[in-house]
Amino acid sequence: MKSAIYYQTKKVTLNLLIHLFLVSVAATCLYPLLWMVASSFKTQETIFSDISLIPRQFHFENYYLAVSQSDFGRYFLNSVFYTASVAFGIVVISSMAAYAFSRLRFPGRNIIFAVFMAAMMIPIPGSFVALFVLLNKLHLRNTPLGYILCMISVGLSMSIFLLKTFFDTMPRELEDAARIDGCSKLGIWRHVALPFAKPALAVVVVFNALNVWNEYVLALVIFDNKNLMPLQRALMLFRGEFLTNYPLLMAGLTITALPIIIMYLLMQKYIVKGVASRAVFG
């Protein structure tokens, strides 16, 4: 029989090791972020010569310059609009499709699903040109709608795949109960499937939001109108052809990273909430 002290020490050491592990990984995650933020307060000359994480002088004006020099506000709003639209669109469209692939029967179901999966794996080089010509023909080229539809298309395969995997684990009793209560298929989707897959939905939102937020080349190729450009364009303005304004670039990058971190903070609650609501279903 092992004594209580043995278990106690084992528990304490285990916890200690776990914490050490977590802290060291966290440190490596934080360092580049801190470097980016610290650099945003430095000047062009000191950014590479001064290697400490705490700048000798804090140049707060870099942030002001970054925002004012580049019509930042408009690009920021554009990015928020595109990201929110795509996230919303994908959640609705891909969850409906994933639910159908997982729970509904119709001829060709497996083939269509397989095509979606295959699409995840086949990158199209030069797709920018193809999409450009396509959107041109549809008269959607220089429009927000065209861009949003393209970005939805890009994220569909992954999102459907993720959601279907989660729907597959959904207990049938839930659906049966709802059906007995007189719920239509759409109702089941809305009241049973969606809440069940909240953690997966949160992942889908984060994934697609990040994609759209960081996307640049497609926007550049499709949009002629400066007013429609997303945030990344402002950042590119600091990376001149020959001269990169590093401090302003770092300030811009920090501002760019913030909304995504905030959005993630909001979303990750749903991953936890998903557990709480499941406890109700048992």
Partner 1 sequence: MRKLFAFCLISLIIPAFFISACAVKPKSSKPTITIWHWMTDRQPAFEALAKKYEEQTGIKVNFELYAPSDAYSQKVRAAAQGKTLPDIYGLLGEKRDFASFIKSDHVADLTPFLEENNGKWRKEFFAKALAVNEFKEDNTYGVKAGFYGVPIDVMTIEMLYNKKLFKKAGLDPNNPPATWGEFLHAIQRLREVGIQGLVSGWGEIWMIDCLASNYAFNIMGEKKVLATIKGEVPYTDPDWIKVFDLFLQMRDKKVLVTGVITMVNKTAEQLFSNEKCAFAFNGSWCVNVYKGMNPVLDYGAMLPPQVSDKNPMMVWGGAASSFLVNNRSASKEQAVAFLKWLTSPEQQIYLAEATNNLPANQNALKGIPVVLAQFAEAMEYTTHPNIWGVSEFPAVIEKLDKGLQAIIIGENTPEQLAQDVQKIKAREMAKAKK
Partner 2 sequence: MRIKSTLENYVFVLPAVSIFTIFYIIPFIWVLQLSMFSWDGILPTKIFVGLENFKEIILQDPSWWESMWNAGYITLIALTLQNTVAFLLAWACDREIKMKNFYRVIFFIPPVLSEIVVGMAWRFIINDVDGANIINRMLVSIGLPQLAHNWLSDPKTALTTVALVHSWKGFGWGFLIFLAGLQTIPRELYEAARVDGAGSWRIFKNITLPLMIPVFVLVAILTVLGTMQAFVLILGLVGGEFAGHTSVPVLRILAVMRDSSRFGYACAQGISFGVILVAISFIQYRLSKRYRQA
Residue list 207-226, contact with partner 2 (CB under 8 A): 207, 210, 214
- Binder of residue 242, out of partner 2, partner 1, none (CB less than 5 to 8 A by kind): partner 1
Task: Please report the sign of the dihedral spanned by the C-alpha atoms of residue 91, residue 96, residue 99, residue 101.
Answer: negative
Binding segment for partner 1 (CB under 8 A), chosen from 98-106, 167-175, 177-185, 235-243, is 235-243
Name which of residues 235 to 274 contact partner 2 (CB under 8 A). 235, 250, 253, 256-257, 260-261, 264-265, 268, 271-272, 274
213 and 260 Cβ atoms separated by less than 8 Å: yes
DSSP letters along 208-271, please?
HHHHHHH--HHHHHH---GGG--HHHHHHHHB-SS-B-HHHHHHHHHHHHHHHHHHHHHHHHHH
Of 180 and 280, the one with the shorter C-beta distance to partner 2 is 280
Structure tokens at 177: 């109960």
CA distances from 20 to 12, 23, 143, 145 (A): 12, 5, 51, 48
Smallest distance, Å, CB 219 to partner 2?
A: 15
Chain positions 63 to 102 lying near partner 1, rule: CB under 8 A, are 74, 77-78, 80-81, 84-85, 87-88
Residue 77 in the binding site for partner 2 (CB under 8 A):
no
Q: Are 141 and 204 in contact (CB under 8 A)?
A: no
How many helices (H) and strands (E) would you count in the chain? 14, 0
Nearest Cα neighbor of 134 from 218, 229, 228 is 218
Q: Out of partner 1, partner 2, none, which partner does residue 58 contact, by CB within 5 to 8 A per kind?
A: none
Residues 102-131 touching partner 1, rule: CB under 8 A, are 128-129
Q: Give the one residue of 45, 61, 176, 181 binding partner 1; rule: CB under 8 A.
A: 45
- Candidates 71-79, 80-88, 146-154, 222-230: pick the segment binding partner 2 (CB under 8 A): 146-154
Q: Which amino acid is at 198?
A: K
If binding is defined by CB under 8 A, does position 16 make contact with partner 2?
Answer: no
Residue number, 37 or 71, with CB nearest to partner 1 = 71
Q: Could you say which of 228, 249, 250, 251 contacts partner 1 (CB under 8 A)? A: 228
